[in-house]
């Protein structure tokens, strides 16, 4: 079966339809590219064909490139993968340039216009192909997304999208779409200049345009063309690139190679003719694809993330789509869970002790919808239909008919046990009960349940509507049906799940707490707080550990510390951290919420800078550590816990470890996650650094036995534990 088909019509218009068999969204493969090339040759060679429309037989145009193409390009070149990539990319340029140059009146006959008709979403190569066409028609489809999101997975638009968009719009106008991966609905895409026309029937509109004998040579193929906004050597253009360089370095801190490579391709390409610019783009794109950071980001943020969202680790079980959900507790977490559930079209019963609290929880959804209406991303009708799905009440009897209940009450085992008993008195035997907790062991909480096989942990991150990760925790007696229900629910609310086994702090908090603690330890040691915070950001962490603890609140850290110390007894390792936390708690420096923490804040809660009070109480040492030492302490504090989680069976799949780390707490996305980072630096070097850090700073950096063994064998985590190894 073909990915592209060609139909000719009596009016002389050929329709090239993209329809990849067996996929809900078109993606471009090497075979599909060859088919498109052959159809373009047919269009150009047949005198009866006046022009062509490239469209899709699906509701959307395309979701991008099949990223396995990159691996095949490398493999095809044997010992010279860079050459394979470059040649493969240049072949794509040749085909798209053939489409573009079909409009040129050269050699023997006049050109033929080729238009693109987009019925819906067009992303990545799904926009790069239309950009090579002579006119782009998009349907009036407010749900469609149009753009070039490649930068979000560690690459950039390398099939001519970078070069064409800059020449179409100018570097300044193109920068949000290239450097930020901004996506737009068709109306906004038309206003920005990404597409040329909107139509109820884009294929019919494209056909009418083709038959109108239009002028269709691209501007950059005509004499006298100038880049909008000015070329780099023009004063206006020069200032654009100075600002763009500052913006890129400010946002990426130099750790994301794709953004810098993209900017280089744009700058250098703007100095030369169009075809030379495409070659420059191909070289920079090859450079990025050969960078281990980009390979790791693609694997974690695209391939692994997609696999987990599609149920890579789902137990064999019938469909567990949630029809009616109960949410117990209408605080921030419960209100957020209610919101995302109702937005997914699920009927929600929201219960709290007092009706006013339950009503406030429902009002959270109303407020969210009002903000969407103000930004024209929602309507009054959508708000009304969403709120109609939510019943706010104090009556547990309203839970009858629920197939999933999530409690989100205070982190107190006694209160959670009481809620469990009240819920189970009302729900049916097949209903799954989930506890939303970030620290309390699921197996212990399940003791309050009369059916522990149906008891599971679902850990949401705050704020629920913004955070993409959901951590599903299996207790010792949790059954496969409960896991399947949790996974199917997370898919319904369009978030990414990871499934872990029960242990103190599960996976995410187990890794992020040592990161925070290491930063606090360094404060007590006299390390400059600014060095700690900037070292974290320069290695790709979105927040420094001190800012992070301010945001989550010092008193929460103190409560966790006391509970952990009580549970661990003499084995408790963080006394030095507690000394700082408890001092700040006593001083009332509880973080942003009290306008005082490691940072100072103004009356509006805006961060003003690192606190002099903290620096005074913990004077800075005369000799400060070097940047790499600080960064390694912060990174190894996290990755060694990830390795231990794998070693102990808390993690069953390293893909979940990497994706969970990036989405859950922002672990250096450029690295692809903790296991990808360890593979990048190599197990032997990682073990060596563990030994050096242990000698200098203590037993918390002791090399795990698993990592030591892998270092001796020079093994990588993905070679040993990745999906290919599991399949073998």
Positions marked catalytic: 438, 459, 471, 509
Using CA atoms, how far apart are residues 131 and 144, in angstroms rounded to an integer? 17
Closest among 31, 222, 610, 275 to 39, alpha carbons compared: 31
Using CA atoms, how far apart are residues 614 and 617, in angstroms rounded to an integer? 5
Question: What tokens were used for 678?
Answer: 């360890």
Q: Say how many CA atoms lie within 13 Å of 668 toward its Cβ.
A: 31
Would you list the DSSP string of 43-64?
HHH-TT--EEEEEESSSSSB-E
- Which 3-state string (H, E, C) describes 540-560? CCCCCHHHHHHHHCHHHHHHH
User: Cβ–Cβ contacts within 10 Å for residue 178, how many?
Assistant: 26
Residue given tokens 């918390």 in the structure block: 700
Strand partners, 183: 147
- Helix or strand run (H / E) with residue 391: strand 390-393
Q: Say how many CA atoms lie within 13 Å of 305 toward its Cβ.
A: 24
Question: What tokens were used for 706?
Answer: 């698993």
At residue 456's C-alpha, the angle toward residues 341 and 432, to 5°, is 60
Residue given tokens 């700690």 in the structure block: 532
Burial profile 646-672: b = 16 or more Cβ within 10 angstroms, e = fewer? beeebbbbbbbbbbbbbbbbebbbbbb
Using CA atoms, how far apart are residues 695 and 129, in angstroms rounded to an integer? 56
Compute the CA torsion angle 281, 283, 284, 289 (nearest 10 deg): 120
Q: Is the torsion defined by CA of 599, 602, 607, 612 positive or negative?
A: negative
Using CA atoms, how far apart are residues 545 and 610, in angstroms rounded to an integer? 12
| CB 591, CB 553: distance < 8 Å | yes
| CB 153, CB 302: distance < 8 Å | yes
Question: What tokens were used for 636?
Answer: 């190894």
| CB 141, CB 150: distance < 8 Å | no
Q: Is the torsion defined by CA of 299, 305, 306, 308 positive or negative?
A: positive
Residue given tokens 């097949």 in the structure block: 430
Using CA atoms, how far apart are residues 306 and 311, in angstroms rounded to an integer? 9
Tell whether omega for the bond before 463 is within 30 degrees of 0, i.e. cis: yes
| CB 329, CB 408: distance < 8 Å | yes
CB-based contacts of 377: which residues, under 8 Å, 6+ apart? none
| CB 297, CB 672: distance < 8 Å | yes
Q: What's the start-to-end Cα distance of the chain, in Å?
A: 30
């Amino acid at each position: 079966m073909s990915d592209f088909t060609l139909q000719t019509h009596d009016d002389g218009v050929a329709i090239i339809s993209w329809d990849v068999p067996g996929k809900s969204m078109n993606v471009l493969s090497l075979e599909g590219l060859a088919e498109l090339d052959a159809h373009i040759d047919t269009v150009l060679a047949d005198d009866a064909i006046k022009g062509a429309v490239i469209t899709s037989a699906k509701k959307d145009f395309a979701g991008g490139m099949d990223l396995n193409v990159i691996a095949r390009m490398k493999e095809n070149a044997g010992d010279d993968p860079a050459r394979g990539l470059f040649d493969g990319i240049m072949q794509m340029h040749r085909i798209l340039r053939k489409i573009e140059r079909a409009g040129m009146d050269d050699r023997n006959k006049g050109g033929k216009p080729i238009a693109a008709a987009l019925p819906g979403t067009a992303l990545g190569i799904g926009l790069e192909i239309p950009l090579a066409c002579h006119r782009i028609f998009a349907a009036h489809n407010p749900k469609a997304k149009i753009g070039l999101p490649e930068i979000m997975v560690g690459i950039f638009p390398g099939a001519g999208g970078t070069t064409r968009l800059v020449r179409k719009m100018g570097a300044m106008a193109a920068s949000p779409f290239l450097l930020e991966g901004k996506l737009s609905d068709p109306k906004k895409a038309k206003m920005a200049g990404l597409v040329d026309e909107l139509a109820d029937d884009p294929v019919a509109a494209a056909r009418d345009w083709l038959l109108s004998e239009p002028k269709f040579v691209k501007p950059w193929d005509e004499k006298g063309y100038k880049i909008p906004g000015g070329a780099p050597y023009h004063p206006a253009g020069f200032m654009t690139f100075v600002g763009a360089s500052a913006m890129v370095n400010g946002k990426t801190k130099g750790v994301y190679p794709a953004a810098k490579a993209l900017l280089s391709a744009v700058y250098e390409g703007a100095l030369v003719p169009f075809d030379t610019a495409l070659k420059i783009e191909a070289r920079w794109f090859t450079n990025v694809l050969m960078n281990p950071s980009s390979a790791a980001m693609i694997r974690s943020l695209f391939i692994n993330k997609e696999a987990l969202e599609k149920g890579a680790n789902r137990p064999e079980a019938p469909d567990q789509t949630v029809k009616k959900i109960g949410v117990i507790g209408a605080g921030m977490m419960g209100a957020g869970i209610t919101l995302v559930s109702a937005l997914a079209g699920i009927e929600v019963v929201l219960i709290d002790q007092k009706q006013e609290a339950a009503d406030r929880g429902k009002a959270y959804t109303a407020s969210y919808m009002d903000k969407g209406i103000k930004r024209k991303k929602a309507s009054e009708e959508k708000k009304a239909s969403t709120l109609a799905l939510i019943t706010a009440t104090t009556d547990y009897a309203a839970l009858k008919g629920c197939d999933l209940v999530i409690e989100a009450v205070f982190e107190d085992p006694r209160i959670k046990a009481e809620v469990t008993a009240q819920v189970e008195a009302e729900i049916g035997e097949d209903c799954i009960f989930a506890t939303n907790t970030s620290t309390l062991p699921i197996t212990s909480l399940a003791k309050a349940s009369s059916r522990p096989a149906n008891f599971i942990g679902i850990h949401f991150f705050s704020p629920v509507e913004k955070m993409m990760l959901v951590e599903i925790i299996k207790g010792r007696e949790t059954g496969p049906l409960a896991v399947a229900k949790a996974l199917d629910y997370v898919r319904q609310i369009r978030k990414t799940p990871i499934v872990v086994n029960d242990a103190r702090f599960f996976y995410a908090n187990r890794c992020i707490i040592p990161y925070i603690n290491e930063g606090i330890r360094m404060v007590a040691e006299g390390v400059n707080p600014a060095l700690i915070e900037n070292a974290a950001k320069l290695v790709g962490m979105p927040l420094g550990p001190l800012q992070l603890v301010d945001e989550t609140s010092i008193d929460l850290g103190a409560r966790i510390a006391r509970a952990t110390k009580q549970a661990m007894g003499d084995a408790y390792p963080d006394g030095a951290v507690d000394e700082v936390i408890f001092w700040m708690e006593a001083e009332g420096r509880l973080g942003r919420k009290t306008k005082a923490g490691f940072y100072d804040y103004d009356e509006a809660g805006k961060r003003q800078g690192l606190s002099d009070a903290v620096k005074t109480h913990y004077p800075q040492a005369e000799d400060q550590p070097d940047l790499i030492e600080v960064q390694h302490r912060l990174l190894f504090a996290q990755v060694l816990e990830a390795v231990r989680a794998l070693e102990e069976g808390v993690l069953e799949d390293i893909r979940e470890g990497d994706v969970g780390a990036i989405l859950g707490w922002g672990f250096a996305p450029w690295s692809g996650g903790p296991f990808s980072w360890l593979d990048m630096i190599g197990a032997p070097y990682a073990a060596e650094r563990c030994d050096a850090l242990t000698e200098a700073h203590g037993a918390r950096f002791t090399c795990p036995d698993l990592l030591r063994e892998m270092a001796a064998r020079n093994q990588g985590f993905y070679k040993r534990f990745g999906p290919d190894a599991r399949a073998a």
